[in-house]
Amino acid sequence: MRYGGVEGTLALRHATLDVADGEFVAVVGPSGCGKSTLMRLVTGLWPPTEGTVIVAGREVSGPLSIAGMAFQNPTLLPWRTIQANVMLPLEVVQPHRRQLRAQRAEYVAKTRDLLRLVGLAGFEAKFPWQLSGGMQQRASLCRALIHDPRLLMLDEPFGALDVFTREDLWDVMQAVWMAKKPTVILVTHDLKEAVYLADRVLIMSARPGRIIAERHIPYPRPRRLDQTYEAEFQAIVHELRDRISEARKGEVADAR
């Protein structure tokens, strides 16, 4: 992926990866390595300059209806209630858009079930400004899941939260994945988060980004937060940090 034409910035080169159906993968790497660009290519928001993206056996040629997305900022619409915000994709994505009027009661029940799953039961009629940042992010996660996406793309979804809220949401995300089993690609700078949530962690090089290593995570689910303080867990985090540090040194060497 190159921005700005043939003389522009080369963001990704040979950035090849495979993700299995139902797998939870985290992508980590130095700042500016192209992690978010990779997300936009996979979901069809941008076309690659060269190469192809294949999702569910088909080449991606535009925005994917089978994908749900959550970002660092919840981006909830302030004039809509939490329930109405969560239901927004149902007004856009087929076949739900076509079925919404006739099956509204079922969709409302599904929305309330999702909100209950993330600890927001009783907040359906509240507006975003009446909720904390962590609660808004829980609602944003529900909005990404309401249309049963086969692929869930998470771009730093917990990065703006304090450490305690972030860790609470790790457990929420784990519970959601275990209940729904979507394919998940998580972009994060938090290596502890990557190891806690993912089946596999992919490490990207400095720009132009490519996958330079991967690490399988050996822990069965459900995982516990106290495991993050164990020596084996910390060793995996340090291993990832060392690989990213090597990638950053490569960036400095290229700049020279």
Q: What is the pLDDT of residue 251?
A: 54
Residues 182 and 89 in one domain: no
Gap between the Cα atoms of 78 and 219, Å rounded: 39
Determine, yes or no, domain membership for 52. Answer: yes
Angle between helices 104-117 and 163-180 (to 10 degrees): 130
Assess whether 49 and 103 both reside in one domain. Answer: no
Average pLDDT score over residue span 104-116: 93
Average pLDDT estimate for 26-38: 88
The C-alpha atoms of residue 110 and residue 241 are separated, in whole angstroms, by 40
Same-domain status, 62 and 165: yes
User: Is residue 197 included in any domain, yes or no?
Assistant: yes
Euclidean distance between CA atoms 123 and 40, whole angstroms: 31
CATH code of the domain in which 213 resides: 3.40.50.300
Question: CA distances (Å), 117 to each of 67, 165, 173, 228, in order?
Answer: 20, 16, 10, 24
Range of lowest pLDDT (110-119, 132-141, 154-163, 247-256): 247-256
Confirm whether 71 is domain-assigned: no
Residues 200 and 91 reside in one and the same domain: no
- CA–CA distance, 252 with 255 (Å, rounded to integer): 5
Query: 246 pLDDT exceeds 90?
Result: no
Residue 253 has pLDDT above 60, yes or no: no
**Is 31 within a domain?**
yes
Question: What integer pLDDT is reported at residue 252 of this predicted model?
Answer: 43
CA separation for the pair 161, 46 (Å, rounded) = 28
Q: How sure is the predictor about 144, in pLDDT bands with cuts at 50, 70 and 90?
A: confident
185 beta partners: 25, 153
* Domain edge (last residue) among 117, 148, 179: 148
Instruction: Please determine, for residue 24, whether its predicted confidence score (pLDDT) is greater than 90.
Output: yes
18 shares its domain with 130: no
Q: Which residue among 148, 169, 194 closes a domain?
A: 148
Short-list 46, 47, 48, 65, CA closest to 56: 65
Is residue 208 one of the residues assigned to a domain? yes
Q: Which helix (H) or strand (E) holds 204?
A: strand 200-204
Residue 228's pLDDT is what?
95
Task: State pLDDT tens for residues 146-183.
Answer: 988 889 999 888 877 788 888 988 998 898 899 889 99
* One domain for residues 167 and 221: yes
- Rounded CA-CA distance 184/178 in Å is 11
| 96 within a domain of the structure (yes/no) | yes
Mean pLDDT value across the chain: 89
Could you list the residue range(s) of the whole structural domain that residue 239 is in? 2-66+150-255
Q: Which of 126, 148, 170 is the last residue of a domain?
A: 148
Is residue 210, in this structure, part of any structural domain at all? yes
| Per-residue model confidence (pLDDT) at position 183 | 94
pLDDT tens string 224-242: 999 999 999 999 999 999 9
Q: Are 136 and 184 part of one and the same domain?
A: no
Per-residue confidence (pLDDT) for residue 255, from 0 to 100: 42
Region 203-222 average pLDDT: 93
Counted domains in the chain: 2
Q: 167 with 229, same domain? A: yes
- Do 110 and 163 lie in a common domain? no
In this prediction, residues 31-57 reach a mean pLDDT of 89
Query: Do 222 and 202 share a structural domain?
Result: yes
- Write down the pLDDT at residue 81: 97
**For residues 186-197, average pLDDT:** 94
Same domain, 137 and 125: yes
With respect to residue 248, please indicate whether it lies within any of the assigned structural domains. yes
Q: Name the nearest CA neighbour of 194 among 222, 165, 228.
A: 228
